[in-house]
Structure 1
Amino acid sequence: MTECSPTRQRCELSKLIKINISGLKFLARERVLHRYPETLLGDVTRRKEFYCPDTDDYFFDRHRPSFEAIFNFYQTGKLVRPPIVPVDIFFAELKFFGIDNQAINMVLDKEGYRQKSESCPKLPEAEPKRTIWLLFEYPETSVWARIVAILSVCAIIISIASSCAETIPQYQEDKIFDFPQNATRSSRLKMAYGSTFYQVETACIVWFCFELFIRFYASPDRIAFIKDIMNIIDMIAIVPYFLTLIFLLGNVQGSRSAAVFMRVLRLIRVSRILKLSRHMTALRILGRTLILSAGSIGLLFLSLFGSMVLFGTFVYFADLETQNTDFDSVPATFWWAVITMTTVGYGDEHPRSPLGKLAGGVCVLSGIMFLLVPVPGIVANFNRLYTRQRNVLSDDFIKTQDETEKVPKKPL
C-alpha cells in the first residue's frame, strides 16, 4: 500500500475537474486548484457542496467574466480585473471563491480601492472610559461626539486667529509682560490676564488640556497614545503657554535672550494648525502624500540646490566687472537663483551683463523643468490615497445575500 500511495496521489492530482459557471464550463487539473488549498476550489471538502452528480461537474451560479480572471489566477498566479467587470462585483466574486486577502488587496490598490477594515478599533472595556473614548475619538458615533469635534475645531481656529490678530499694530500689547522688578506674582497675573488675547489663549488652552487629559484617561493603550504623532502634536501645542506662564511668574522678560525665547514660543503656537488634521481627512492624506513622495521631493531640492550653486557662481563671475552689480559674492546670488528658478522674479536683484542675463534665462527654463518633474508623482500619490479613502469596499452585502445562492443549483 505504501508503494501505491505516491502513485495514487499523483493520479488524484492529475484528475480533471469540471467547473460549471452559470453554464460556461472550465476544465482544470486537481493540482492546479490545489495550489491554493485555502480557497473554495482548492478545498475539496468545501467544494463538494457544489458537486452535481448528474453532470459530473461543480456548478456555481456566479458571474462568468469575473471567474475567467479567477480561473486565470489559479493557472498563472496573477489576478487582474477584467475591464468590463465593475470593481464591487469583482470584489464580491473574489470573496465568494475565498481568494486570499493579500491578492485582493493588491488588485484593489491598483484600482484605487481598499477593503473595509475587518479588525474593530481597540476600545476600553470599562465604563465610563468606553463612552468617553467614543465621545472624543470617534465623531461619527453620536450627535454629542460631533458636537465635541466641532468645539475642538472652533477652539483651534480661535487660537490660531488670536495668535495672528495680536500682531496687528493697533492690537499689539507688547508691554503686558513688562512688570516692575518689585511686582508681586498676583499683580503680574492680574496685569497679564487683563489682556483680551491672553484671556482667549487661556480659554483655548483650558480646552486643549481638558481634551488631552480626558483622552489619555480613557485611552485603551496609554503607551500607544503617547507615541501617536497626533497626540505629540497636541502636547507641543500647549507647551508654549505654560513656558510663557513660567516666564511671567519669574519676571525674566527683560533680558534679550528671554525676548528671543518668547518669540520662538509664539512661533511654536502656530503649530496648532496641525491639530486640524485630527478632524480633517484631507490634511492627513496630504501628510501621507508628502511622506510617500519624500524621494521625489528630495530629488527636487537636490536639483534646485545644485542649480542654485551653478547659476549663482556663473552670474557672479559674469557680473564681476560690471558696475553697480547686485552680487558681491557667490552666496549673495543664491536668493536671486532660487527666485528665478521658481519663476517668481521679484526683480530686487538681477544680472546686468549680457552673459549674466543669458544665464538668467537658462536658469528660468531649468527651474521650470525641475519643478515639473516631481509634480506628476506627487499628484498621483495624492489621488491614489484620496481615492482609496473614499472607495471603501465592504463584504457586508455578501453576508446579507439570500443563502440559497450558496446552495448548489442544478443547471436546467
Structure 2
Amino acid sequence: GNGSGPNYRSGVSTNGEIAVNIGGVRVVLLGDVINRYPESRLAELLTCSSQNYEGILSLCDDFDKGRKEFYFDRDPDAFKCIIDVYYFDEIHIKNGICPICFIKEMEFWKIDPSVLDECCKSYLSEKEEELNEISSKVRIILEDLEVERCVTRSQKCQRFLWRLMEKPGSSLAARVIAIASFLAVLVSAVVMCVGTIPELQVTNGDGKLVEHPILEAIETVCMLWFTAEYVLRLASSPKKIHFALSFMNVIDFMAIMPFYVVLSLTYLGTTSMMELANVQQAVQALLRIARIFKLARHSAGLQTLTYALKKSLKELGLLLMYMGVGIFVFSALAYTLEQSHPETLFKSIPHSFWWAIITMTTVGYGDIYPKTTLGKCNAAVSFLCGVIAIALPIHPIINNFVIFYNKQKVLEIAAKREVELMEMKSSPETERRRSSGETRKSVPSFAYRLI
C-alpha cells in the first residue's frame, strides 16, 4: 500500500507493513497507517515480536512465519469496512451486513464504535430496538411456557389467573374472558348513548328525566364485571405498582370509582352529599366516555394507531402550526374586507376565527359567511390553503402506521420462530435428561443469553 488505501495483493510483506488474511482475502497495510489506532488488534500485532509465538496466536487464529502473514477466520466483507477507519477516521456499514454482527466485528478488532458514521448509528439503534422487541416477546412466550418456576400452589394460582386475565391466546377460557370484556365495554358504551334518548327515559320523584331502570341495571352489571376484572388482574399481577400506575389501568380505576362514590352518597342521602353526587355523576359520565379506550387493550389495530400518532407528533405539530397561521391570517382578512358591508357577520377578528376554522377544514356550516366579492375570494383562497395544509402531513402519518403495523407482524413471526428454534435445539438435551431419569424441564441457557 502507498498510504492512500488498502493494498489487496499477494506476496510477502516488507518492513513497516503487516499482511493479514481475512477469510481468504489477503490485505497488506502500512505500519504508519495502523498506528493511527494504537489500541486496535492490528496495531498490537504490528508491535508484537515475531519470536513471541504465543502472544501472536492470542491475537490471531494462525501465523505463517515464513510469509509473515496473520490469518483470521473472520468476515472479509466486514473487515473491508473496518479498515476504512485507518484511512478516513470513520466507518460505514455496507448493505447486506448485519449491524449487530458488525459491532461484534468492531469489538474483535478493538475499534471504538464511536467512529461509526451518524447514519449508521441511527440504523444500528433501530436494529437494536427491533432485537429488544423480539427479545421481550420471546421472554413473554418463555414465561408462559416455563410454569415450573412457580413452586408453591399460590404462585401457580397467581400465574394461572394472570394468564387467564391477560393472555387471551393462552387458553380457550382466557379467550372467552377477553371477548366478554370486549363486549362489556361495547354494551356499556351503547347503554350510555341509548340512555340519553328522551323517549327511553323515565321521570323521577322530582319530575326530572332520568335513565331507565333497565339501562341502569345493565350498567350496574357492566360495572360489577369491570370491578371484578380489575381486582383479579391486580391480584394476579407480578408487578402490582407498575400495574396500578399503567395509563390504561388508571383509566379503568377512574372509570370504576365514581360509580361506587355515587352509590354510597346516594345511599347516605343528605342534601350536600347529593349535590356532590351530581358532580360525581358528571365525572362518571366523562369517564364512561373514556372507558372506550379500554378497547385498545384488546385491539392491535388501535395500539398501532396510537403508536403511529406518537411517531407523527412532529407532522401533527406542523399541521397545527399551518392551520393556526392560516386561521389568523384569513380571519383577519375576512374581518377587514367584510367591514364595508352593512350587514356583515364578522363582528371581530376573534369572532372570525370560527369562520376560518370551519372554512379551512372544508366543513362550512354556513352560520357565518362573507357577503362582499373580496370576502368571497378570500374564502376561496382560505379553503384551498386548508386542503393543502391538511393533505401535506397525511402521507407521513399513514406511512408511520403502515411501517409499524408491518414491523409488528414481522416481529411476532420472528419471536415465534426464535422460540421454535430454541425448542428444536433443546430437544436433544431434553431427551438426554429423560433417558437419565431427570424429569424437570428447563429453558436452555442460550435463550437467556439471547434475551
- In structure 1, which of residues 220, 232, 240 is the aligned counterpart of residue 250 of structure 2? 232
Q: Partner residue of 2:306?
A: 287
Match for 1:19: what amino acid? I
The aligned amino acid for 2:348 is S
Aligned to 1:272: 291
**Equivalent in 354, 358, 367 of residue 373 of structure 2:** 354
Instruction: Return the alpha-carbon distance in structure 2 between the equivalents of residues 257 and 36 of structure 1.
Output: 75
- Given the alignment of the two structures, is residue 302 of structure 1 paired with residue 335 of structure 2, yes or no? no
Task: Give the Cα separation in 2 of the matches to 1:354 and 1:340.
Answer: 16
Q: Tell whether 2:384 aligns with 1:365.
A: yes
Normalised TM-score (structure 1): 0.70
Point out the more displaced range, 193-202 or 249-258: 249-258
CA distance in 1, matches of 2:19, 2:425: 31
Q: 2:176 aligns with which of 144, 147, 157?
A: 147
The answer (yes or no) to whether the contact 1:112–1:391 under 8 Å persists in 2 is: no
Give the structure 2 partner of residue 106 of structure 1.
Answer: 123
Distance 1:290 1:363 in 2: 26
Greater Cα shift, 323-332 or 270-279: 323-332
Structure 1 segments (4+ residues) deviating >6 Å: 28-32, 44-47, 91-105, 253-258
What amino acid sits opposite 2:20 in the alignment? I
Aligned AA for 1:342?
A: T
Q: Deviations over 1:12-37 (max 9, x none)?
A: x97533233xxx636487999x8699
Aligned twin of 2:220:
202
Q: Partners of 1:159 and 1:238 in 2: how far apart?
A: 12
> Among the aligned pairs, what percent are the same residue?
26
Q: Match of 2:409, as an amino acid? A: R
- Aligned-residue CA RMSD in angstroms? 4.4
Tell me how far 1:360 sits from its aligned partner: 0.8
Amino acid at match of 1:109: E
Q: Deviations over 1:317-345 (max 9, x none)?
A: 21123133222222222221101111222
Once structures 1 and 2 are overlaid, which stretch shifts more, 345-354 or 103-112? 103-112
Distance across 1 between alignment mates of 2:170 and 2:122: 27
1:81 aligns to 2:95 (yes or no)? yes
Given residue 79 of structure 1, which amino acid in structure 2 is its aligned partner?
I
Structure 2 residue aligned with 1:374: 393
User: 1: distance between equivalents of 2:40 and 2:167?
Assistant: 42
Q: Is the 8 A contact 1:237 1:272 kept in 2?
A: yes
* Cα distance in 2 for residues equivalent to 1:307 and 1:361: 13
Q: For residues 211 and 272 of structure 2, what CA distance do their matches in structure 1 show? A: 16
Unaligned runs of 5+ in 1: 1-10, 38-43, 181-191, 404-412
Q: What residue number does 1:17 align with? A: 20
Structure 2 vs 1, CA of residues 224 and 45 (structure 1 numbering), >3 Å: closer, same or farther? farther
Shift of 1:153: 0.9
Please, which moves more after superposition, 380-389 or 244-253?
A: 244-253
Measured after TM superposition, the shift of residue 68 of structure 1 is: 2.9
Which residue number corresponds to residue 5 of structure 1? none
Distance 1:211 1:301 in 2: 39
1:245 and 2:254 are equivalent in the alignment: no
- Superposition deviation, residue 134 in structure 1: 1.5
1:144 is displaced (CA, Å) by 2.1
- 1:233-258 CA deviation, whole Å, 9 max, x = no partner? 21122133224324533445998886
Aligned 1:110-149 pairs, distance under 5 A: 116-117=134-135, 120-121=139-140, 125=150, 126-149=155-178
Check conservation: 1:159, 1:204, Cα contact below 8 A: yes
Residues 94, 104 of structure 1: 8 Å contact kept: no
Match of 1:6 in 2: none
The 1-side partners of 2:376 and 2:328 are apart by 16
Q: CA deviation at 1:386?
A: 1.6
Aligned partners of 1:276, 1:26: CA distance in 2, in Å? 61
- Classify 1:296/1:172 alpha carbon distance in 2 versus 1 (closer, same or farther; 3 Å): same
Query: Does the 8 Å contact 1:80/1:107 carry over to 2?
Result: no
- Unmatched segments (≥5 aa) in structure 2: 1-13, 43-56, 85-89, 429-451
TM (norm. structure 2) is 0.65
8 Å contact from structure 2 (residues 60, 70) kept in 1: no
Instruction: Decide which of 72, 77, 83 is 2:81's aligned counterpart.
Output: 72
Higher relative CO (Cα under 8 Å, sequence separation at least 6) belongs to 1
Aligned letter for 1:248?
A: T
Given that residues 78 and 105 in structure 2 are in contact (C-alpha distance below 8 angstroms), is that contact kept between their aligned partners in structure 1?
A: no
Tell me which amino acid in the other structure corresponds to 1:391. V
Q: Is the alpha carbon distance of 1:370 and 1:257 closer, same or farther for their aligned partners in structure 2, counting shifts above 3 Å?
A: farther
Displacement of 1:388: 2.0
Residue 330, structure 1, aligned to residue 344, structure 2: no
What is the CA–CA distance in structure 2 between the aligned matches of 1:285 and 1:47, rounded to whole Å? 48
3-state SS in 2 of match to 1:140: coil
The 1:220/1:261 distance shift into structure 2, 3 A limit, reads closer
How far does residue 152 in structure 1 lie from its aligned partner after superposition?
1.2
Shift in CA distance, 25/281, structure 1 to aligned 2, threshold 3 Å: same
Kindly provide the amino acid, as one letter, of the partner of residue 242 in structure 1: Y
- For 1:168 and 1:360, the matched residues in 2 are separated by 38
Question: Are the counterparts in 2 of residues 19 and 57 from structure 1 also a CA contact under 8 Å?
Answer: yes
